[in-house]
Amino acid sequence: MLGSVRGRLTLLTIALVLTAALAATLLIVDAYRSHRASTERQISETAGAMSLAIDGKAREVTGVLQVLALSPHLKAGDLAAFESQARRAVPHDDKWVVVADLDGQQLVNTLAKPGEPLPRMRLPADIDLRERETYVSDLLQGMVEKGRVIAFATLAEGPGGRPYILAIAMRPSAPNAVIAEQRLPPGWYGTLVDRKGVVIARNVEAERFEGVSASPDILERIRKSPEGVGDSVSLDGRETLVAHRRSPVTGWTFLVGVPRAEVSGSLSRSLIMTFVLCLALLALGALLTVWFARGVTRAVESLEGAAEAMGRGGAAPRLATGLRETDAVAEALHGASLKLKAREAELRQLNDTLEARVVERSRELEETTERLVQARKVEALGRLTGGVAHDFNNLLTAVIGNLDLLGKRIKDEALEKYVANARQAAQRGAKLTAQLLAFARRQRLEPEPLDVNAVIEGLRVLFDSALGGATRVRAELSPDPLWAMADRTQLELVVLNLAINARDAMPEGGEVLIETARERVSGPDPRLEAPAPGDYVRITVADTGSGMTPEVLARIWEPFFTTKPVGAGSGLGLPQVLGVVKQLGGGIRVDTAPGCGARFHVYLPVAAPAEKAHPEPVEAAPVDFAGLKVLLVDDDRDVRSATADLLRDLGSEPEEAVDAADALARLDAGAEPRLVIMDHAMPGLTGAEAAQRIRVSHPALPVLLISGYMDAEAVARTWAGPVLAKPFDKQQLAARIAAALQAAQTGGD
Ligand SMILES: Nc1ncnc2c1ncn2[C@@H]1O[C@H](COP(=O)(O)OP(=O)(O)OP(=O)(O)O)[C@@H](O)[C@H]1O
Ligand SMILES: [Mg+2]
C-alpha cells in the first residue's frame, strides 16, 4: 500500500488532517480553559457583589434596630408609644418589630393585631445578645407569622434598667427582593444560605427551596473558606459551577451558580464541529488522493509505454501528461531513443562495410609486406654486391698495377698483346664493379648544381653515335635553365642508359623523346623507386616501343634481370640508374603498358643556380717524381706492394707503413715525406681519421686518400682533401699525386 502513489498520498492526507485536528483541539481546550476561568471570575465577582448588597440591607436594618434600642418610650416602659414609633420606623409589612423579655415572652409585635395575645418565643440555641451589638439569626420558624423568618436582634434597656430583647424580623421575601434587584443573567442561580447552609432566599423557585439545606460539598467548602469556586450539583439536580462568598457582617453566604452546560457547551460544540470538519476533510482528501493518484499513475504508465517502445527498438514518443516531471523524463527518453537509433544505424553501417575494409586493409598489408620484403632483398643484395665489388676492386687495383709494370718491361710484341688483352679485361671488370657499386649506392659522387638542359644538349653527339641510324632523338627541353643537384658523369650515364633501353624496345626504330620540366611531387608514394614529396627537376625519357607487362615492371630494378638475349644485356642498367638517382636524393616513376611504349621519369632535387660555370679542370703542372719521398699506408699487402711498385716506376721513393698507427709513429719518429698516400678502409684508425691528425701535427704535409667504392660516402663525409678512387692505373695515380702536391703549394685543398 505504501509503495503506491495512492498509498503515500492517503498517508499524507491523514497526517495533515490529524495534525490540523490536534491543533484545533488544543486551541479549543485552551479557549475552554480561559472561558471557564473568566466565568469563574465573573461568578465570584457576582457572588461578592450580591453579598455586599445583602450586607447593605443588613446594615440598614441594624441601623434602625440601634435607633429603636435607644427609644425613650422603651426605657420608660411605654410600650404602646414604642409600638407606634416602631410601626413608623419599620413600615414595610414584610418586616416587623418585636420586643420580648429575656425569657422570650413577647411584649410588642407590630405584625400582630392590636390586643391579640402574644406568644412566647423559642430563643435560638446560638443566640448571644449584647447591648449595642446586633445578632443576626439563621432561618427560624415564626411564631406569630406562620412561615419562616429571619431576625436581627439586640439588647435594649427597659424601665428600671430591665433588659429587653429588641428584634426586627422579616420574611425571606425581603432578601429575595434584594437578589431580584441585582438582575442575574438568565440561567444563573443566586442563593442566599444561612450559617447552617439552609436556603434563605433564591432568585429562581425561592419558595420551593426555602429551608432546604445546600449540598454537603457546598457546606464543606463554605466551612473551609469564606470564598471560592468549584463544581457542584444544584438543588434542582443540575451540574453547576458554583462560587460562594461568606459575609463577615451576617455570617450568611451568597452562592452564584452557572449550569456547567453553559461553560462547557461551547467546548463540546467546537469539538464536535472539529470532528465533523476533520471527517469532511478526510473524505475530501480521499477523493483528491484518488484523483491525483490516478493522474500520476496514468502519467507513469505512459512513461512505461515510452520505455517499452524504446526497448523494442522504436523511438520513445514525446508526451504531454500534464505533469512537468514526467514530460521531462519522456523528452529525455525521446532524445535518448533517437540517439540510440542513430548509433545503431552507424553500427550497422560499420558492420556492413567491415568486410570490405578488412579486405582492403589486408590487401594494403600484403602490398606493404611485399614492398618491405623487396626493400630488404634489395638492401641485402646491395650489401652483398658492395662487399664483393670492394674486394674485387682491390684485386683489380693490384692486377692493373702489375699489368702496367709488366707491360713496360716486356719488349716482345706477341707478349705485349697478351698483356694488352689482360689489361682490357681488367678494365671491363672495373666497369662492371663500378655498375655494381652504383646499384649498391656506394659509389663516390660529386654532386654540384647542374643545368640539366645543358647536360642533355651536351649528350646529343653521343646519342647519335650510340643509338644508331633507325632511332631518332627528339629533345623537348624547358625554355629556362633547370638547376638540379647531380654528378655530371653519372647523370650522363643515367640518361644514356635510359635512351639505350628505349632504343632496344624499338627494334624497328622510332623516336626517343627526352623532356625536361620542373615538377612538384606531393603525397607519399609507397613504391621504393618513387621520389619523396618535394620540388624536383624531371627528366623524362619516352619511347613508343614494346612497353612492359606488370610482371616485368615489377622486376626491372633487380640486378641482372633482363629480357634481352644472352650477351645483349647484363640487367645492370636500370639498377645502376636507380642507385645513382636515389643516392642523389631523387627518384624514378615509370608509365608503361604492353605495346604502348614506356616513359621513364627521373626526378632530381632542385638546386640553386651555380654562381659561375664550373672552372675547367686546370691541367696539373708536370711533377718531377724523381726522388719524391712518399709515405704509402695500406693494410692490404698486395695492393700496397703493387702501388709501391707503381710509385717506384714513376721514379719516387715510397716508404711503406702497414696501418695508420704505423704511419703516425713513423712521422713522429722523424720521417719527412713530401706526401702521404693512405688507404681509407683500415682496421683501427681509418685513413680519414689519420689524415685529420696529420693535418694538425704536420699542416704542410699533403695527404692523398685512396677510397674504395664501399667507403666513398664515409670518405666524402669526413675528408675534404684529395681522393684517389680504386682501381687506378699509373696515369691516374700520377695525375692525383700531381693535383695533391699542387693544391698543397697553392694553399688550397
Ligand atoms: N624502355 C623500355 N621498354 C621496354 N622494356 C624495357 C625498357 N627499359 C627496360 N626494359 C626492360 O627492363 C629490363 C631491364 O633493363 P636493364 O636496363 O636493367 O637491363 P638490360 O637493358 O636488359 O641490360 P643492360 O642495360 O645491362 O645492357 C630489360 O631487359 C627490358 O626487358
Ligand atoms: Mg639496359
The pLDDT tens digits for 463-486 are: 887 887 788 899 999 999 999 999
Say yes or no to pLDDT of 1 above 70.
no
Q: Which residue has the higher pLDDT, 3 or 652?
A: 652
- Sorting pLDDT into bands at 50, 70 and 90, what band is 122? confident
pLDDT (0 to 100) of residue 441: 76
Say yes or no to pLDDT of 402 above 80.
yes
Alpha carbon of 568 to ligand 2 centroid (Å): 9
Interior angle at CA 284, CA 278 and CA 290, nearest 5: 135
- Sorting pLDDT into bands at 50, 70 and 90, what band is 748? very low
- What percent of the chain lies above the pLDDT cut of 70? 97
Lowest mean pLDDT among 372-381, 511-520, 677-686: 372-381
DSSP assigned state of 616: P
**Considering every ligand atom, which ligand is closest to the CA of 590?**
1
Could you report the per-residue pLDDT of 599-649, keeping only the tens digit for each?
A: 999 999 999 887 654 444 445 566 788 889 999 999 988 889 989 999 998
Alpha carbon of 551 to ligand 2 centroid (Å): 17
Alpha carbon of 740 to ligand 1 centroid (Å): 41
Residue range 443-471: average pLDDT? 85
- Which residue's CA is minimally distant from atom 29 of ligand 1? 562
- Sorting pLDDT into bands at 50, 70 and 90, what band is 665? very high
Amino acid identity at 207: E
Q: Rounded CA gap, 566 and 185, in Å?
A: 155
Alpha carbon of 510 to ligand 1 centroid (Å): 17
**Largest pairwise CA distance in the chain:** 227
Residue range 710-735: average pLDDT? 81
Interior angle at CA 729, CA 728 and CA 735, nearest 5: 85
- Between the alpha carbon of residue 251 and those of residues 154, 210, 224, 248, 311, the distances in Å are 16, 18, 14, 5, 98
Interior angle at CA 65, CA 63 and CA 69, nearest 5: 120
Cβ contacts of 490 within 8 Å, gap of 6 or more = 438, 443, 445, 580, 584
Residue range 660-677: average pLDDT? 92
Alpha carbon of 501 to ligand 1 centroid (Å): 5
User: Residue 552, SS3?
Assistant: helix
Q: If you average pLDDT over each of 91-95, 309-313, 319-323, 547-551, which comes out highest?
A: 547-551
**Considering every ligand atom, which ligand is closest to the CA of 568?**
1
Contact 247, 262 (CB under 8 A): no
- Which residue's CA is minimally distant from atom 8 of ligand 1? 501
Burial class (CB in 10 A: 0-12, 13-18, 19+), 211: middle
**Considering every ligand atom, which ligand is closest to the CA of 557?**
1
pLDDT (0 to 100) of residue 99: 93
pLDDT (0 to 100) of residue 408: 81
pLDDT (0 to 100) of residue 616: 46
Residue range 77-85: average pLDDT? 90
Place of cell 459575609: 247
Alpha carbon of 484 to ligand 1 centroid (Å): 26
Residue range 38-63: average pLDDT? 91
Alpha carbon of 573 to ligand 2 centroid (Å): 4
Alpha carbon of 527 to ligand 1 centroid (Å): 19
Say yes or no to pLDDT of 536 above 90.
yes
Say yes or no to pLDDT of 102 above 60.
yes
Looking from the CA of residue 575, the nearest atom of ligand 1 is 18
Q: Which residue has the higher pLDDT, 437 or 538?
A: 538
Element holding 714 (H helix, E strand): helix 712-718
- Sorting pLDDT into bands at 50, 70 and 90, what band is 501? very high
Element holding 425 (H helix, E strand): helix 413-439
pLDDT (0 to 100) of residue 605: 94
pLDDT (0 to 100) of residue 169: 92
Residue range 127-148: average pLDDT? 84
- Between the alpha carbon of residue 359 and those of residues 114, 213, 362, 366, the distances in Å are 158, 126, 5, 10
**What DSSP line would sit under 297-331, residue for residue?**
HHHHHHHHHHHHHHHTTSPPPP---S-HHHHHHHH
Q: Which residue has the higher pLDDT, 218 or 266?
A: 218
- Which residue's CA is minimally distant from atom 19 of ligand 1? 571
Mutate to test the pocket of ligand 1, among 541, 562, 581 (most ligand atoms within 8 A of CB): 562
Lowest mean pLDDT among 45-59, 176-190, 466-480, 614-628: 614-628
- Which residue's CA is minimally distant from atom 13 of ligand 1? 562
pLDDT (0 to 100) of residue 747: 57
Alpha carbon of 572 to ligand 2 centroid (Å): 7
Looking from the CA of residue 546, the nearest atom of ligand 1 is 4
* Residue/partner pairs of 57-61 with CB below 8 Å, 24 or more apart: 57/174, 57/175, 57/178, 58/136, 58/152, 58/247, 58/249, 58/250, 59/249, 61/95, 61/152, 61/168, 61/170
* Residue/partner pairs of 613-622 with CB below 8 Å, 24 or more apart: 614/448, 620/735, 620/738, 620/739, 620/742, 621/738, 621/742, 622/738
**Considering every ligand atom, which ligand is closest to the CA of 559?**
1
Could you tell me what percentage of the chain is helix, strand and coil, using 3-state DSSP and rounding each to the nearest 5?
Answer: 50, 20, 30
Could you report the per-residue pLDDT of 12-32, keeping only the tens digit for each?
A: 888 888 888 888 888 888 888
Alpha carbon of 442 to ligand 1 centroid (Å): 22
Ligand 1 interacting residues, C-beta cut-off 6 A: 501-502, 505, 543, 545-548, 552, 556, 561-564, 569-574, 598
Looking from the CA of residue 502, the nearest atom of ligand 1 is 1
Mutate to test the pocket of ligand 1, among 432, 473, 558, 574 (most ligand atoms within 8 A of CB): 574
As a whole number of Å, the CA-based R_g of the chain is: 77
Q: Which residue has the higher pLDDT, 316 or 483?
A: 483
CA nearest to 516, candidates 535, 533, 541, 498: 541
DSSP assigned state of 699: T
**Considering every ligand atom, which ligand is closest to the CA of 558?**
1
Say yes or no to pLDDT of 41 above 90.
yes
Give the chain's mean pLDDT. 87
Say yes or no to pLDDT of 749 above 50.
no
Looking from the CA of residue 563, the nearest atom of ligand 1 is 29
**Considering every ligand atom, which ligand is closest to the CA of 500?**
2
Beta bridge partners of 678: 633, 705
Say yes or no to pLDDT of 2 above 70.
no
Q: Which residue has the higher pLDDT, 567 or 65?
A: 65
Element holding 541 (H helix, E strand): strand 534-543
Residue range 486-493: average pLDDT? 90
pLDDT (0 to 100) of residue 704: 92
Residue range 431-455: average pLDDT? 83
- Which residue's CA is minimally distant from atom 12 of ligand 1? 556
pLDDT (0 to 100) of residue 644: 93
pLDDT (0 to 100) of residue 685: 87
pLDDT (0 to 100) of residue 615: 47
